[in-house]
Amino acid sequence: MIKLLDLLREEKLDILKPRRSPEERQQNYAIATQKKIEQYIKDGGKDNLNLQSTPITTLPNDLKVGGNLYLDGSNITSLPNGLIVKGILDLRNTPITTLPNDLKVSDYIYLSNTKITSLPNNLKVNGSLYLNNTPITSLPNNLKVKGNLYLEDTPISKKYSEEEIKKMVPGVKGDIYI
């Protein structure tokens, strides 16, 4: 046994050295993620699209997701024009700062722990809208939310009371949490 260890040290064999560099692995992962999106579109976009914790930064224009779109923990920086999500849109823990004006989401929108600073005019959310722990400073007065609005740990929650927020955004049908 000792001779084998001596031989390995002497020959400087790196038997545990990875075959690919971290950069190459990351690049291959990005390519695989892009192929996953392409295949999803080719298959008709009927189910959930799970891109959690991927290196993806953008999506193709006019993407239609028949179920939930999970982007939490990804590197997504912007959403495409014409995006339609028939379920939940989960953007938690991403660097996203804005949403497109024509975004359509049939259920909840999760934006907690993002860098979102504003919402588009005429945004309609059929479920709840989660904006907690974001730097958002204002809400469009024509915002429509059928569920609850979560604003904990935001500049809005520190500046306004629940009653003041209800007056600013009368289109929120559920509760407002500050």
The answer to whether position 51 is within a domain reads: yes
What pLDDT is stored for residue 119 in this prediction? 94
The answer to whether position 104 is within a domain reads: yes
Backbone conformation region of residue 128, classed left if phi is above 0, alpha if psi is from -120 to 50, else beta? beta
Banded pLDDT at 21 (limits 50, 70, 90): confident
Dist CA 157 CA 132 (whole Å): 9
CATH number at residue 90: 3.80.10.10
What pLDDT is stored for residue 60 in this prediction? 93
The pLDDT tens digits for 157-176 are 999 999 999 999 999 999 99
The answer to whether position 67 is within a domain reads: yes
The answer to whether position 111 is within a domain reads: yes
The answer to whether position 54 is within a domain reads: yes
- Domain span holding position 154: 19-177
The answer to whether position 74 is within a domain reads: yes
The pLDDT tens digits for 106-133 are 999 999 999 998 899 989 999 999 999 9
Instruction: Name the domain count of the chain.
Output: 1
Mean pLDDT of 87-103: 95
